[in-house]
Each structure stands twice: as C-alpha cells, then as structure tokens.
Amino acid sequence: METTDIDAVLALEQTVYKYPWTRGILVDCMIVPGYTCWVCEDEHDVFGYAILAVGIDEAHIMNLCVSPDAQGAGWGARLLDKIIATAREKKIVDTLLLEVRKTNKPAIALYKKYGFKKIGERKAYYPSENGREDAVMFALPVS
C-alpha cells in the first residue's frame, strides 16, 4: 500500500463496513513501524487490502478486506497467503492472531481452512446496529 492508495482504501472501507476505519487510522498503519499494508488492485481500482501488525512473538491481522464485487474470486485467500508468508519471514513471530465478527461466516470459514484455531471470544468487541457484537479470536502458529 502506498499513500496514493489511501483514498481508494478508505472508499472500500466505507463500502464494506458499517463502522469503517478513519483516514487517520489507515495513515497511521502506513507510517508506524511494525505495520505492513498491502492492496489488491487492477489498472482501475483497489479492490482489496490487508494490514498486519508485527510485535514481539506475535503478529496481528488488523484488517483484511475485499470488495463485495471481488469476493469469491480468491483475493482474500491471496492476501491471507501473503500475510502468513510475511509473518513466517519475521523470525521473531511465533503466532498470527486476529479477531473477526462472530457473524462474519465467510471470513471464519477462510481462517479455519488455513488452520487458524479459535482461542476465545471478546464480548461486545465491535460496534453494531444493535449496540455491540462479539468477536471470535483466532490464532495460527507460524514458527
């Protein structure tokens, strides 16, 4: 991801999520050490992106998003492949972590397909139309 992608990523974020990240959060992810950001794009559009935060012993998938028009074409899997490869390249990382909305069944199925194991739940983690929604926490050993 480059700074020139921010507007397109922000537009995608606002299309896909009812409670999108802000421009400031996206910019911070690009400039703060330890974060790696990718986009999926063609000559016209950005149609997917992912953000990985790497710390000591673990890496955290902060966001993985694919445009509704591009879903089902393997782009989420390609981004996840890149994330896992990057986490494995970081020799200090043992585990890849993420949270996902409990109702996001397609994402949960993808993570399980890749060997992520449920390690817990975070109650009322995400904002939702009905107040708050639980998150499912997953982990994948990468060392």
Q: How far apart are CA 51 and CA 42, in angstroms?
A: 19
Please, are residues 129 and 95 in contact by the beta-carbon 8 Å criterion?
no
Mean pLDDT of 58-75: 94
Q: Which residue in the list 13, 49, 111, 133 is annotated as catalytic?
A: 111
Q: What three-state secondary structure class fits 31?
A: helix
Return the pLDDT at 6. Answer: 95
pLDDT of residue 110: 95
Mean pLDDT computed over 88-112: 92
Q: What is the CATH number of the domain that holds 90?
A: 3.40.630.30
Catalytic residue among 13, 99, 126, 133: 99
Residue 15 pLDDT class (50, 70, 90 cuts): very high
**In the chain, how many domains are there?**
1
Q: What is the pTM of this model?
A: 0.92
Domain containing residue 19: 3-141
Q: Which residue type is seen at 19?
A: Y
Per-residue pLDDT at 74: 93
Active site (annotated) includes residue 133: no
d(CA 54, CA 8): 24
17 is catalytic: no
pLDDT per position as a tens digit, 25-60: 999 999 999 999 999 998 889 999 999 999 888 899
pLDDT score for 143: 83
Q: What is the mean pLDDT of residues 106-119?
A: 96
pLDDT of residue 89: 84
| pLDDT over 90 at 61, yes or no | yes
